[in-house]
Amino acid sequence: MSNSPRRPSKPYRRPRKDPVRILAFEALRAVDERDAYANLVLPPLLDKARAKGEFDARDAALATELVYGTLRWQGTYDAIIAECVDRPLREVDPPVLDVLSLGAHQLLGTRIPTHAGVSATVELARVVLGDGRAKFVNAVLRKVAADDLAGWLDKVAPPYDEDPEEHLGIRHAHPRWVVSALWDALGGGSAGMEELLEADNERPEVTLVARPGRSIADELLTGDAVPGRWSPYAVRLTEGGDPGEVEAVREGRAGVQDEGSQLVALALAAAPLEPAAGRTGGAEAKVRDELWLDGCAGPGGKAALLAALAAQRGARLVAAEKQPHRAGLVGRALEGNPGPYAVVTADATRPAWRPGTFDRVLVDVPCTGLGALRRRPEARWRRQPEDVPGFAPLQRDLLRQALNAVRPGGVVGYATCSPHPAETRAVVDDLVKETGAELLDARPLLPEMPGLGDGPDVQLWPHLHGTDAMYLALLRPAAEGG
Ligand SMILES: C[S@@+](CC[C@H](N)C(=O)[O-])C[C@H]1O[C@@H](n2cnc3c(N)ncnc32)[C@H](O)[C@@H]1O
């Protein structure tokens, strides 16, 4: 026992290692440093932690929430952290900023009590950044903790009347240019705008597709699963169930597929065909419907559904994909298809097939992916406005070649998982003007869905339909010599 008047200096204490937050930090670093995708980085990290016996299901759920939430709200958290740091954010080291964002999310975006959020993040900082920088993290997070999210948003977002796009962008964690594009795509009125931004910030349910002829939706209806809203082949796992536990998915007879993507394939398969011009044989003559093309097939979700639908009517799908490794994924997705199909590694802008070969053609073109923000939490901050014109020539070229590949009287589906008008209508309008193709009304080919717009093309929306914001236009090529 010591009676010394001098207080002993605080003994050094090793930082507490919290595997959940360390894993979340590693995932954020991978996304930040290597431009990795959170939905690809996280599962192997979680598997490793489970294998080491470090994680139970609750830990995995918390780590996932911390990573997804931090990434999704990154721009808004940056604006808040900037108010709490005495230098420009670009001068803060990226790993420090990742720890601060992870802390901000715990304090402002979860129910974790403030003191627990601060102390857990400071402990994390001690482990991954060192004691010196942990003090900085502590000081900044104490300032962040001085208000709740609503209070911070009032401070950092400009008033709506002054700058509506920035106001909504900060409040709903979307970059301003994305707000602007979504607003245009919704038609410019205020209806639905906030609902859409909110829907983008929710984690989507996992949706399964029962591949026709290989399984039926009823077979997938176990546990908390419920039927899809629109597609007869869809089943929703409402409690975030694990598709890997569903036998039909393990066997490839069913797959994971958003309902919007299912509807694109179903609408293309249901679109009416006409006989090729010049063909005679009377009204009763059978209209040819034998050969289908998916010109942008990787990784194969829509191709697998199309191939199964084609098989049901004795038709064959050719699935083309430019990237060899993605063509491999298409091959795996189509394995076991009940009818004939072919997977080819091919550039659909330099077709290896003759003009007029196919009865139905889908081009689900590369795009910004602004319609799938629910699934890719980092995408909205990584994408840049200049990406949009960057995709434009390829999108036009793919549609041009699709119109060339389809026979007269056949049908082309042009799809994007982006609602950006420059990637949807602008492309279609240009090709209609250039080639004289006719736009078909896609709306009657979808189930009775509200909010499909004035047509003839359709735009699906997360807030209205619970799907990704898929776009689909159906086109009939100009008649030969027309
Ligand atoms: C949006 S993804 C298609 C998604 C797919 N339809 C599905 O549902 O799984 C676009 C695909 O087109 C491929 N692609 C890009 N340029 C291409 C080209 N010139 N020819 C063929 N495929 C191309 C990309 O590699 C990518 O896999």
Q: Please indicate whether residue 347, judged by its CB atom, sits closer than 6 Å to ligand 1.
A: yes
Residue 390: partners with Cβ closer than 8 Å, 6 or more residues away: none
What range defines the domain where residue 120 resides?
Answer: 19-149
Does residue 391 sit within a domain? Answer: yes
Report whether 301 belongs to an annotated binding site: yes
| 393 in the same domain as 459 | yes
| 143 in the same domain as 110 | yes
CA proximity to 259, closest of 210, 331, 189: 210
Q: Please indicate whether residue 349, judged by its CB atom, sits closer than 6 Å to ligand 1.
A: yes
SS3 17: coil
Instruction: Tell me the average confidence (pLDDT) per consecutive run of 10 residues in the chain, 482 residues long.
Output: 61 90 97 92 94 90 96 98 96 98 98 97 98 97 98 98 97 98 90 95 94 95 93 92 89 96 98 80 76 98 98 97 98 96 98 95 98 95 97 98 98 98 98 98 95 95 97 94 52
Residue 169: count other Cβ atoms within 10 Å of its Cβ. Answer: 24
| 331 in the same domain as 215 | no
| Model ipTM value | 0.99
For residue 362, give the ligand 1 atom closest to its CA. 6
Does residue 223 sit within a domain? Answer: yes
Residue 349 Cα, ligand 1 centroid: separation in angstroms?
Answer: 11
| 106 in the same domain as 192 | no
406-416 and 358-364 as β-strands: parallel, antiparallel, unpaired? parallel
Active site residues: 417
| 228 in the same domain as 196 | no
| 237 in the same domain as 380 | no
Token representation of residue 343: 């997977």
The predicted pLDDT at position 1 comes to 42
CA proximity to 342, closest of 313, 289, 306, 288: 306
For residue 294, give the ligand 1 atom closest to its CA. 6
Whole-number Å distance between alpha carbons of 412 and 478 = 12
Residue by residue, DSSP assigns 414-437 as EEES---TTTTHHHHHHHHHHH--
Residue 139 Cα, ligand 1 centroid: separation in angstroms?
Answer: 47
| 182 in the same domain as 62 | no
Residue 246: partners with Cβ closer than 8 Å, 6 or more residues away: 208, 220, 222, 254
Residue 295 Cα, ligand 1 centroid: separation in angstroms?
Answer: 7
For residue 350, give the ligand 1 atom closest to its CA. 19
The predicted pLDDT at position 278 comes to 57
Does residue 40 sit within a domain? Answer: yes
Q: Please indicate whether residue 322, judged by its CB atom, sits closer than 6 Å to ligand 1.
A: yes
The predicted pLDDT at position 5 comes to 59
Q: What is the pTM of this model?
A: 0.94
Ligand 1, atom 12: closest residue by C-alpha? 296
The predicted pLDDT at position 279 comes to 55
Total structural domains within the chain: 4
| 113 in the same domain as 244 | no
Report whether 299 belongs to an annotated binding site: yes
For residue 8, with 0-12 CB atoms within 10 Å meaning exposed, 13-18 middle and 19 or more buried, which class applies?
A: exposed
Does residue 230 sit within a domain? Answer: yes
Residue 449: count other Cβ atoms within 10 Å of its Cβ. Answer: 15
CATH number of domain containing 58: 1.10.940.10
The predicted pLDDT at position 365 comes to 98
Assess contact for 415 and 472: CB atoms under 8 A.
yes
| 381 in the same domain as 310 | yes
| 295 in the same domain as 397 | yes
The DSSP secondary-structure symbol of 268 reads H
Does residue 42 sit within a domain? Answer: yes
| 179 in the same domain as 224 | no
Does residue 12 sit within a domain? Answer: no
Does residue 282 sit within a domain? Answer: no
Residue 90: partners with Cβ closer than 8 Å, 6 or more residues away: none
The residue whose CB lies within 8 Å of the most ligand 1 atoms, and thus the one to mutate among 211, 257, 259, 296, is 296
Does residue 373 sit within a domain? Answer: yes
| 297 in the same domain as 436 | yes
Q: Please indicate whether residue 326, judged by its CB atom, sits closer than 6 Å to ligand 1.
A: yes
